[in-house]
Amino acid sequence: MTPKLTLKSDQRLRRNNDFVRTRKHGRTYRCPYFALFSTIHKEESGDRLSACIGISASKRVGNAVARNRLKRSFRELFRLRQHEIRQEADIVISIRFPAKSATLGELEHRFEQAIRYNGLIHPEHSSSP
């Protein structure tokens, strides 16, 4: 049976404290389109069923329509890959200005690179080239 690929509200980081902790103590991947910060929780939390994501875009990225479009795009990229990402991961994406002119394919390629670079791929889904 195919897993249901929905993004639930408990899969999103909302508190400023979570964003600050992930940015300060996490691994970083930077590219022209975004910066991805991630942390892995070492403690076993039984109530945690999936990775969490938080997305920020400053006003430099564009107007509200452009910022929200990019946030939706990144949420969709995360939603499609959530079954590959380790469930104890917290991810924060800080969108940069050039992302406004990038295609979804370019963003998807960079996002895939970022989660592999930061070691977020679940061992069952990792493939060695």
What pLDDT, on the 0 to 100 scale, is given for residue 37? Answer: 97
Is pLDDT of 129 > 80?
A: no
118 CA to centre of own chain: 11
Place of tokens 């930061």: 118
CA angle, residues 1, 71, 80, in degrees to nearest 5: 15
What pLDDT, on the 0 to 100 scale, is given for residue 4? Answer: 64
pLDDT (tens digit, 9 = 90+) per residue, 60-72?
Answer: 999 999 999 999 9
- Candidates 38, 45, 33; CA nearest to 85 is 38
Is pLDDT of 109 > 70?
A: yes
Is pLDDT of 126 > 70?
A: no
- pLDDT tier at 56, thresholds 50, 70, 90: very high
44 Cβ contact partners less than 8 Å away, ≥ 6 residues apart: none
Topology at the third CATH level for domain 9-41+49-117: Ribosomal Protein S5; domain 2 (3.30.230)
